[in-house]
Every structure is written in C-alpha cells, then in structure tokens.
Amino acid sequence: MKAFVVGPRVEMSNDLHSLINCISERAAEVKWRGMLATDVIDAKGVIKTMTTNSLGILGARANAECLEDRLDIMVGDGKAAFCRRRSADAANREAYEEYSRHYCSGDGGHAGGRSRT
C-alpha cells in the first residue's frame, strides 16, 4: 500500500505529488471556463497550487499534533496525550454522525429515509 506523506517542513511524497497532478489535470479540464481562465493550463496551475497549499497546511498541522502527543508521553504526561486523543476521537465521531444524519438519512439523503446505523 502506498502512503501519502507530508513531512514536518511540508515536503510531500512522490505519490502525493502524483495525486495532486491527477486532481489538477482533471479539475482543470472540467472547470477552466467556470474559473474564467484563459486556458486549461492556467486553470491547472491555479488548482495545483491551491491543492498543494491546502494539503501542506493540513499535513503540517497533523504532524504538529503527533509531535505534541509524543512529547507529552516522553516527558511523562501520557494522561494529557490520552485526553487530547480522546477529545479528537469524540469530535471526529460527532462530525461523522452529523454527516450521516444529514446526507444519508436527512433531507436529500441517499439512503431513502433510512438510517445506516
């Protein structure tokens, strides 16, 4: 399995660069007129830059969170690291449940009015 990696200085793996290229090529072909770009190549450059910046910021933030958890454990404050992970898990679960309620069984949902849980 290939992993998409963003390092501590926002360097990205070759696999992630390939994915960003594919995304920007396809999106540029579809959206270049709506973006008011002069051609597909200009639109691809804009989309590639935006995607790279967004993923870099997300990767750097995730890396910082991992380092913070590891430092808490190394200095003997595993309880703080555990509490932070637990609150993050709870927030992720809440976001998933909200998404499921709205998109799977709510208005305009794709589950025919039935809950998937």
Assess whether 7 and 23 both reside in one domain.
yes
CB 69 within 8 A of CB 60: no
Assess whether 69 and 104 both reside in one domain.
no
Assess whether 49 and 29 both reside in one domain.
yes
CB 115 within 8 A of CB 105: yes
For residue 4, the SS3 value is coil
Give the DSSP H or E segment for 98. helix 78-99
Assess whether 34 and 86 both reside in one domain.
no
What residues does 12 pair with on adjacent strands? 6
- pLDDT tens digits for 60-76? 777 777 777 777 777 77
Whether the model clears a pTM of 0.75, i.e. scores above it, the answer is no
> Domain span at residue 117?
81-117
Assess whether 60 and 30 both reside in one domain.
yes
Task: Report the domain count for the chain.
Answer: 2
- pLDDT tens digits for 94-111? 888 887 777 776 555 555
Give the residue from 24, 87, 26, 79 showing the smallest Cα distance to 54: 24
Assess whether 86 and 109 both reside in one domain.
yes
Assess whether 14 and 67 both reside in one domain.
yes
Assess whether 11 and 63 both reside in one domain.
yes
Question: Alpha-carbon distance 81 to 71, whole Å?
Answer: 9
